[in-house]
Chains A and B, each alone.
Chain A
Amino acid sequence: MTALVRRLLVLFVRIMVGARSEWRGCTPDTRRRIYFANHNSHVDTVAVMAALPYQVRRLTHPVAARDYWGTSAFRRFIAEKGLRAVLIDRKPLPDSNPLEPLERLLEEGRSILIFPEGTRSSTDEIAPFRSGIYRLACRFPDVDLVPIHLDNLQRILPKGSMLIVPITCTARFGKPLRVEPGEGKDAFLARARAAIIELADGGRTA
């Protein structure tokens, strides 16, 4: 049943937003990876999942905010069953480690998909990254971090609208990166953010 829902969800997204993938800096691989993407629409997560080949998708868990995706039974079902998402707290209690569920998945050899901007931006600008991605990168120095640029999603379902306009979206996968020895948090976050911005350029003529 949930497998069927999953398939239908992917099919629906493929029809509605195209969800085409373009592997620029790497190829699809079932090894554990940390995918990170720019975030400006509710469709982002499903779009990336739909763009991943099935073998990779089934091993990949997107991260979703509990304060949005956990608020109703329907959203919970779509997130947890439909997308195999992990719900995490955006404002965790002081003593807890919100990244803990992600670390556990990576330890099990699974891949995760995160949106380091933390929240959807309402402009085309990519917001500064939060530090979670840096902490994960330090904790798993041998895991590739794959940047993903999503185009057009802002226009497909902008913040504050419920109306989907079926423009095609392309998920562009860039060259994997890792934390360099001695690289500080700010430098790494800037480099990761630049990797996504770089993918945005010249996409149309490629």
Chain B
Amino acid sequence: MTSLFSIVLAAILGLLAVASTIGFILQRRATEPGSVATVQNLNARIRSWWIMVAVFGGAILLGDTAVVILFAFLSFMALREFWTLTPSRRGDHLALFLSFFVVLPLHYVLLGTLWYGLFSIFIPVYAFLILPAVATLTGDVNEFLARTARVQWGLMLTVYSISHAPALLMLETGTPPALLLVYLVIVVQLSDVFQYVWGKLLGKHRFSPNISPSKTLEGLIGGGASAILVGTLLYRLTPFSPLQAAAVSTVIVVAGFFGGFVLSAIKRDLNAKDWGYVIEGHGGVLDRLDSITFAAPLFFHIVRYWFTA
């Protein structure tokens, strides 16, 4: 795995170097205020990509425990961003406390100890029943159903869904499981990057102005197709044949689209532009992981159902 992974990592670093060079040239050329702002945002994004690649790549090199801890931390940040924007009442306080400090850590412990059976039901069965039960103790019935739904969805999106990316480490497919995670992350993130690039270069028809004003039809199709192409070419990282890799990449890309849209729709509902502010040029952790929330569980179950012994 290390040799294959080294090649992939070297390729990504090479791509980033190219991106940084292009960003530098554009910065010297940009003169009008509109394009200066775009180029500045582009360069901030590229800088953040260097850091994200270093953190993620470093965790992979350190081993499975480091990866699980990294994702537990990302879930924590994402859950926090979710609740910073989402309204809650005094009656939700204990449920939120338990979400952050009991449910999230326990869920990742189950993942780290490879206890798949409990891992897969702990949140959707036990947490989903216990948290509303706890909330009744305060006697606040105001908007109870909506509040329960928010507590559950916060956990579902930011903890349960995201954790299915590191959960790939549990799967024995004949290929090193860390490469499956690398594959998922590359296809999802490249799809976002390609959408951005295609949208900036050719974008004309806005796809869904209400939900995601900057997304264009050209960006979605061009970006999606490019990511599926890369996903197919990278089939050696996976147990898939090239044809299977194309199909699986398609699923990842489509799920990723909808992850982005659903999380954007929630943001619009909450009157926010970004989920957070910790990743320069990108917004919050949840802005970067929105596609993963939908793509990871699907990819996980496809691999688990068809490609494990």
Contact = CB atoms under 8 A, between A and B. Distances in A.
A55 interface: no
Nearest to A164: B97
B100 interface: yes
A152 B81 CA distance: 12
Contacts, number: 38
Nearest to A157: B93
B277 A20 contact: yes
A204 B94 contact: no
A47 to B, nearest CB: 13
Given A204-B271, A204-B272, A165 B277 contact: no
Interface in A163-206: 163-168, 204-205
Contacts of A167: 80, 83-84, 96
Contacts of A158: 90, 93
A166 B273 contact: no
Interface in B141-184: none
Contacts of B83: 155, 165, 167
B270 interface: yes
Contact of B88 (A155, A168, A204, A205): A155
Nearest to A154: B90
Interface in A47-72: none
A205 B273 contact: yes
Contacts of B100: 165-166
28 contacts: A18-B80, A18-B84, A20-B277, A152-B84, A155-B83, A155-B88, A155-B93, A155-B96, A158-B90, A163-B93, A163-B97, A164-B97, A165-B83, A165-B93, A165-B96, A165-B100, A166-B100, A167-B80, A167-B83, A167-B84, A167-B96, A168-B81, A204-B270, A204-B271, A204-B272, A205-B271, A205-B272, A205-B273
Interface of A: 18, 20, 152, 155, 158, 161, 163-168, 204-205
